[in-house]
């Protein structure tokens, strides 16, 4: 197993790598949140800051979007990403899940698991074990040759993720998962990671426990270091030193004070601990992949598209004051190449909407006796419409189980409301055609992960009325195939537009493309597609995020097609600007 290489060990007050003292100085960076063409650029910022390791999650729901169809190529070529890191002298803390949290849709779990009505995730339920075993049988053989003792960069593996915070723990699950990992040839150091409030109850394995903490809590810092009493004569690793925090729609930015960040970092280093900055570079929740949380505010909030996270390296790859603080605390000297790694964004200007098509004109509908959720329709993301005729109510309005009203409005569309059904009631003789347009705004990714089926699970209960037809269901996954197959485009006339609808414009670039940021003038809420790829959601009227980061590698020299779905409000143009506005 690699001659003298004996891997990372955790005996004594310091980690040792091949028998020599090794302090882990790591930054979390995710290949799946960064355009592949920018991988080296972002990793160079890790090296120049004086870190020696990167921390990497692996999202199951990207690598197995459909059950049994695995993808580890192109933008998802994690072997290439790890190889580049190794060539740059970096080690890797690998966190293969299968659950990863990470403000990612359902914590990285694939939505097709929900087709099983008895599914019990993160447990030894046989259906879940079978799915994990199948996925790991493809993933782990890719990782095994990359272990340090085999000449690769991976020095440790995390078993699952933050299991101490899970509300429905199975005490036998982590041991089963660790054994599964070992059966596929993983033998480097195993560890678990939990917040300071759950450390004492989290370790169901006899593996290395590590702690998480934020920049502003010295009380939590004390709890994290209390782990030393549980694991005497073991080195400390802060697996997630939160350099910032994520943002969610409808609230202000979550910025963390740089002075407190520096003070906390100095205390960690003073105590001799190893540290991983989460995140060091956050990147972007491209497409529909953002997660959501209920614990943060006590109610459901969906995360924004940007995963800037107030990081040492910002969303577009530029180094911030926190990056300077880390380097200063580590006594790292400046390098002559630093200006080379500054990203310059281009303000390409304003572009009017040219074409339009109503959303209802791009889908293919099917008839069902009863409504069913998205996952049962083999749809993971996007929107689904449900249409049905009901007998005209005589007195009371129709209500569903969540008491969302269907107003008696004649020939007037109701504006979409986020997280609720988008309703349209059309009077026709003595009955109504009622249409529900339901979005998957992001599945919850932390703590309570139950009830994450999207769409309509069952028919709403009616008061004073009855259903008089079957259900017409139309799926709008808005994937690359559906977007590229649109043919019903017409010229955009603001007075003729009916929402929700898709709009299109062309951006002509005469030179080699540069990064830019899209600002939606006069529009409200929707999704943007650039040259057929889903850039992510915008919600200008709620914020905090106002612009979407558009990487240069998504653009071409020549004509670029930008399409967007708008739900709520008509504008006239979009603008490509040179700086972000995240709130």
Active-site entry in 240, 262, 435, 567: 240
Catalytic, 324? Answer: no
DSSP assignment string, 3-33 = TT---EE--SSS-EETTEE---EEEEE-GGG
Q: Are 279 and 309 in contact (CB under 8 A)?
A: yes
Q: What is the spatial distance between Cα 446 and Cα 452, in angstroms, rounded to a whole number? A: 12
Active-site entry in 64, 103, 160, 162: 162
3-state secondary structure of 438: strand
∠ CA(423), CA(425), CA(429), 5° rounding? 160
Alpha-helical (H) ranges within 392-522 are 480-484
Q: Are 248 and 304 in contact (CB under 8 A)?
A: yes
Q: What is the spatial distance between Cα 386 and Cα 378, in angstroms, rounded to a whole number? A: 15
Catalytic, 428? Answer: no
Give kind and range of the element (H or E) at residue 326. helix 321-329
Dihedral-angle region of residue 139 (phi above 0 means left; psi in -120 to 50 means alpha; beta otherwise): alpha
Bridge partners, residue 210, by sequence = 193
Q: Are 1 and 149 in contact (CB under 8 A)?
A: yes
308 burial (CB, 10 Å; 0-12 / 13-18 / 19+) is buried
Give kind and range of the element (H or E) at residue 139. helix 126-143
Residue 54: closest CA among 72, 34, 70: 34
Write the CB contacts of 16 (distance below 8 Å, at least 6 apart in sequence).
Answer: 8, 9, 22
Q: Which residues are catalytic?
A: 162, 240
């Amino acid at each position: 197993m690699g001659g003298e290489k004996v891997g990372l060990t955790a005996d004594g007050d310091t980690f040792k790598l091949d028998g020599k003292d090794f302090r882990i100085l790591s930054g979390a960076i995710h290949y799946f949140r960064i355009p592949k063409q920018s991988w080296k650029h972002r990793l160079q910022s890790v090296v120049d800051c004086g870190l020696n390791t990167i921390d990497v999650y692996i999202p199951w729901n990207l690598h197995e979007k459909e059950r049994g169809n695995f993808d580890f190529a192109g933008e998802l070529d994690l072997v290439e990403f790890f190889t580049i890191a190794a060539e740059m002298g970096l080690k890797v803390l690998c966190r293969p899940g299968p659950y990863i949290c990470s403000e990612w849709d359902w914590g990285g779990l694939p939505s097709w698991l929900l087709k099983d009505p008895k599914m019990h995730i993160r447990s030894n339920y046989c259906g879940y074990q079978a799915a994990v075993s199948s996925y790991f049988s493809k993933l782990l053989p890719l990782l095994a040759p990359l272990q340090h003792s085999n000449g690769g960069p991976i020095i440790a593996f995390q078993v699952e993720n933050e299991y101490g915070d899970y509300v429905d723990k199975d005490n036998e699950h982590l041991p089963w998962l660790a054994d599964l990992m070992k059966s596929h040839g993983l033998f480097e150091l195993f560890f678990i990671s939990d917040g300071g409030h759950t450390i004492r109850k989290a370790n169901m394995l006899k593996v290395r426990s590590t702690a998480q903490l934020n920049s502003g809590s010295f009380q939590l810092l004390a709890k994290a270091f209390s782990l030393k009493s549980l694991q005497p004569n073991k080195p400390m690793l802060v697996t997630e030193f939160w350099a910032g925090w994520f943002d969610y729609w409808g609230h202000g930015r979550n910025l963390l004070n740089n002075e407190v960040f520096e003070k906390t970092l100095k205390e960690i280093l003073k105590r001799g601990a190893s540290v991983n900055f989460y995140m060091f570079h956050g990147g972007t929740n491209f497409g529909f992949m953002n997660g959501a949380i209920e614990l943060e505010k006590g109610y459901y909030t969906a995360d924004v598209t940007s995963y800037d996270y107030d990081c040492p390296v910002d969303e577009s790859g530029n180094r911030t004051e926190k990056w300077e603080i880390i380097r200063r605390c580590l006594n790292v000297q400046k390098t002559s190449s630093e200006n080379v790694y500054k990203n310059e964004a281009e303000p390409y200007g304003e572009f009017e909407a040219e074409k339009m098509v109503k959303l209802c004109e791009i889908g293919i509908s099917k008839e069902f006796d009863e409504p069913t959720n998205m996952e049962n329709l083999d749809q993971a993301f996007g929107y689904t419409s449900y249409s049905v005729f009901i007998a005209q109510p005589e007195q009371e309005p129709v209500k569903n189980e969540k008491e969302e009203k269907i107003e008696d409005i004649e020939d007037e569309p109701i504006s979409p409301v986020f997280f609720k059904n988008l309703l349209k009631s059309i009077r026709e003789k003595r009955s109504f055609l009622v249409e529900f347009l339901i979005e998957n705004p992001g599945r919850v990714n932390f703590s309570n992960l139950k009830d994450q089926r999207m769409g309509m699970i069952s028919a709403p209960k009616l008061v004073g009325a009855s259903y008089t037809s079957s259900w017409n269901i139309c799926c709008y996954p808005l994937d690359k195939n559906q977007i590229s197959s649109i043919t019903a485009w017409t010229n955009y006339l603001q007075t003729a537009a009916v929402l929700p609808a898709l709009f299109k414009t062309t951006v002509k670039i005469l030179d080699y493309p540069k990064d830019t940021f899209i600002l939606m003038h006069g529009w409200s809420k929707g999704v943007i597609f650039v040259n057929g790829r889903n850039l992510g959601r915008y919600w200008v009227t709620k914020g905090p995020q106002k612009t979407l980061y558009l990487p240069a590698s998504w653009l071409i020299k020549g004509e670029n097609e930008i399409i967007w779905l708008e739900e709520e409000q008509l504008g006239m143009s979009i603008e490509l600007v040179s700086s972000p506005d995240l709130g």
